[in-house]
Amino acid sequence: MRYGAMNFPVKPLLKEIEEIGELGFDYVELTMDPPEAAPQKVLAQKKSILNLLNRYKMGITGHLPTFVWTSDLYESLRKASLHENVEAIEASAELGIEKLVLHPGYITGMGKFVIDKAKGYGLESIEAILKRANSLGMTLCIENMFPQANFLTQPHEFQEVFDIFPEIRLALDIGHANLGGDRNRAIEFIQRYGYRIGHIHANDNFGKEDNHLPIGAGIIDFDRIIKILKQTSYDETMTIEVFSKDKDYLRMSKEKMKKMWESL
């Protein structure tokens, strides 16, 4: 297993990468969001980014824009959102990124009253994003969302996506799977789609908010989840998605997950 950490895009990108490197992570998951990590700003720092990755002997994966509207009823918003995704894909290619995480579109406003139409727009957007990623030789991993997104939050919803798009893999967010219910859905995701998992996000919460707490600070039973995940023979990338002013919590979370993984 390789362990990574994500930049917090409100902070200067190079400093974020340097801190992740100092903590001994195997790779950076570069989330291309403003204000500090929009694609144009990332490309302007390409040489420095690659130098830092080389210095710390780290790899790099990518996370496409987080807060865009690829399922929106407004065509203009969908087009703008697709444009942002494509720019991020192309910037990722410049950095040699081979694996990308995609947030499927949020369904809000009037879209909740015509949910099938909004989901259809979302699938059209996924198809366009996948086509561009495929053309550049990248693997696209689609992330299970938190309940407020109203799209691709439950395990059964992913079957249609995987049937339509056989190249897409699952980015299993264990924290998201713990929200909006009385049980963590990560185990059902693993049991249904273990063969399709291409990436993992790990963070803790109390089942109500997407807090991105350190591992062990919430209620998620990681021991059980990791045990079941290991049975699938998954052994690729796991991003410790913990955001805290004190980076020790990020380091400790990585060490906890690594210890759990290696002890099973």
What confidence score (pLDDT) does residue 206 get?
95
C-alpha to C-alpha distance for 88 and 70, rounded to whole angstroms: 14
What confidence score (pLDDT) does residue 183 get?
82
pLDDT at 181 over 80: no
Decide: pTM greater than 0.85.
Answer: yes
CATH number of this structure's domain 2-263:
3.20.20.150
Question: Residues 166, 127: contact at Cβ < 8 Å?
Answer: no
Average pLDDT over the chain, rounded to an integer: 96
- What Rg value do the Cα atoms of the chain yield, rounded? 17
C-alpha to C-alpha distance for 225 and 80, rounded to whole angstroms: 37
Q: What is the pLDDT of residues 3-28, one digit of tens each?
A: 999 999 999 999 999 999 999 999 99
Confidence of residue 170 (pLDDT cuts 50, 70, 90): very high
Q: Rounded to the nearest 10 degrees, how much is the dihedral formed by the CA atoms of 78, 84, 86, 87? A: 160
What confidence score (pLDDT) does residue 90 get?
98
Residues near 239 by beta carbon (within 8 Å), at least 6 away in sequence: 3, 4, 5, 6, 29, 61, 199, 200, 201, 202
In Å, what is the CA distance from 32 to each residue of 92, 149, 203, 252? 9, 20, 20, 25
Question: Residues 120, 161: contact at Cβ < 8 Å?
Answer: no
What confidence score (pLDDT) does residue 263 get?
93
Q: What is the pLDDT of residues 27-81, one digit of tens each?
A: 999 999 999 999 999 999 999 999 999 999 999 999 999 999 999 999 999 999 9
